[in-house]
Amino acid sequence: MERIGFVGLGIMGRPMVKNLLQAGFEVTVWNRSRPGVDECVAAGAAEAESPRAVAEACDLFISMVTDSPDVEEVIVGETGAIHGLKAGTVVVDMSTISPAVTRTIAAQLAEQDVAMLDAPVSGGDSGAIAGTLSIMVGGEADVVERVRPAFEAMGKTITHVGPVGAGQTVKLCNQIAVCINNLAMAEALVFCAQSGVDPSTMLSAITQGAAGSWQLSNLGPKVVERDFAPGFKVALQQKDLRLALEAADELHTPLVGTSLVHQLFAAVEREYGTDVGTQALVRALEGLAGIEVGAPSR
């Protein structure tokens, strides 16, 4: 089995590492903060002192960090993986970043005979814990097949979507659809509450029909219960929407709904901070309507 290096042990990375360990992979880890390292080492991972050191100890290097600059730092930065990778190693970035930055990093790695896949994921922390993530992979088909056993330890649906950079493009499509479904959920809940109908009953009535969505089934009940703890933080959603809008601007493609949600989330960030869950989008609409979903009707 491939020796795996894993950098980025946050809310997603930790359970992903644990699933790799449970599947029998040897995993070496690094993270900027201790809690993630300690948790993964306790589960059986080895620790390295830098991304470069992780790269020196592995055949397959995986990064799961926040944004494009973070990926650049851990892969091609001063202490990045590029300085420790052997020819024939594969780099898999599972973060959500710019497609253009992905292609630039892949070109730098190719100069050292290192292949790269971009393989962002969907499914949130619950999917990471359960090992049921949806993984969208860009890169060469033979490299995808080489890495497939590791993907299957972390995800349920692995889809090869095209060349390097295509994985990030498809993930941004995912985020566009997710955010607008979130807006639809929020508007339905606010309208329902304003109309004096029990929102829980409304959710039961429509989630299995044509209006059904993951957001409606999973986030709708949380809104009714006033649970805004993050499965996916507003800060990360905003980062993804920024990436989508930047990519769309390069293509001269209007994303009207995405732009609106991006602005509504800005209002949420101002009032409630960036660490709340994305279901807090409803709070921007509640503010406009002067009502709270789940509160007793007037």
Q: Where are the domains of the chain?
A: 3-161, 169-289
**Residue appearing with tokens 């829980």:** 200
**Residue appearing with tokens 């639809």:** 184
pTM (global) more than 0.75: yes
**Residue appearing with tokens 């995800």:** 155
What tokens were used for 64?
Answer: 């799961």
Residues 153 and 167 sit within 8 Å (Cβ to Cβ): no
Among 171, 222, 233, 239, the active-site one is 171
Residues 60 and 119 sit within 8 Å (Cβ to Cβ): no
User: Which CATH class name applies to 3-161?
Assistant: alpha beta
- Residue 298: its pLDDT value, please? 46
Q: Which residues contact 120 (CB under 8 A, 6 or more apart)?
A: 93, 94, 95, 96, 97, 135, 136, 167, 168, 170, 171
51, containing H or E segment? helix 51-56
Residues 189 and 195 sit within 8 Å (Cβ to Cβ): no
Q: Alpha-carbon distance 28 to 41, whole Å?
A: 9
- Residue 211: its pLDDT value, please? 95
Q: Based on the residue annotation, tell me whether 171 is a catalytic residue of this protein.
A: yes
What is the separation of C-alpha 284 from the centre of its chain, rounded to a whole number of angstroms? 23
Residues 168 and 67 sit within 8 Å (Cβ to Cβ): no
- Residue 125: its pLDDT value, please? 86
Q: Alpha-carbon distance 79 to 98, whole Å?
A: 21
User: Is CATH 1.10.1040.10 the right assignment for the domain spanning 169-289?
Assistant: yes
- Residue 294: its pLDDT value, please? 85
Q: What is the pLDDT along the chain (298 residues), one digit of tens a residue?
A: 899 999 999 989 999 999 999 999 999 999 999 999 999 999 999 999 999 999 999 999 999 999 999 999 999 999 999 999 999 999 999 999 999 999 999 999 999 999 999 999 998 888 999 999 999 999 999 999 999 999 999 999 999 999 999 999 999 999 999 999 999 999 999 999 999 999 999 999 999 999 999 999 999 999 999 999 998 899 999 999 999 999 999 999 999 999 999 999 999 999 999 999 999 999 999 999 999 998 654 4
